[in-house]
Amino acid sequence: MLPTWEPGTVAILSTGAGAPHAIPVSTAIPAGPDAILLALALRRESLARLREEPRCALTIVAAGNVAVTVHGHATVVEEPLAEIGTVAAVRIDVDAVQDHGQDRFEIDAGVAWHWTDAGAAEQDEAVRAALIRLTS
C-alpha cells in the first residue's frame, strides 16, 4: 500500500537500461492504491531509459514518517501531456513497496526546496493538476 505525501514532494526516480540512473522528480502523485503518476520532460534520459527497460524504483522520503522505495513497471500514458506539451505522463504500476521505516527514527520532513523561477513553479503545479485528470 502506498503512503501519502504532500504535492511537490521530491522523490528519486531510479531507472536501468544501463548503469543505474537516478533523478529527482517533483510531480509524483498517487493514482490509486497500486500506481503512481509522474511527468518527465520529453528530452529526459530517464524517459528514454524507461522505454527500453520499464522496471524502475521511486524513493520517497517525506514528512509524516514516509521512507519507502516503490518498485514497479513504468508505462508512458500520455505523450505529450495535453496541458503541458513538453512533458510525458508516466504511470508506475507498483509491484512492491519497500518500507524503510524503523522504530529507532522518524522522518520529520523531506527535501526542503523551492522553485527560483516563477514560471517553472506555475508549470510544476499545472503538471500535477493535469496528472490528477489522468487518475479519474
Residues 69-110 pLDDT 10s: 999 999 999 999 999 999 999 999 999 999 999 999 999 999
Residues 27-71 pLDDT 10s: 999 999 999 999 999 999 999 999 999 999 999 999 999 999 999
pLDDT in the model for residue 73:
98
Q: Would you kindly state where each structural domain of the chain is located, as residue ranges?
A: 11-135
Global confidence as pTM: 0.95
pLDDT in the model for residue 132:
95
pLDDT at 136 over 90: no
Residues 108-134 pLDDT 10s: 999 989 999 999 999 999 999 999 999
Fold for the domain defined by 11-135: Pnp Oxidase; Chain A (2.30.110)
pLDDT at 1 over 90: no
Inter-CA distances, 40 with 2, 88, 96, 104, Å: 21, 5, 22, 35
CB 62 within 8 A of CB 5: yes
DSSP letter for each residue of 9-50: --EEEEE-SSS-EEEEES--EE-STTEEEEEEETT-HHHHHH
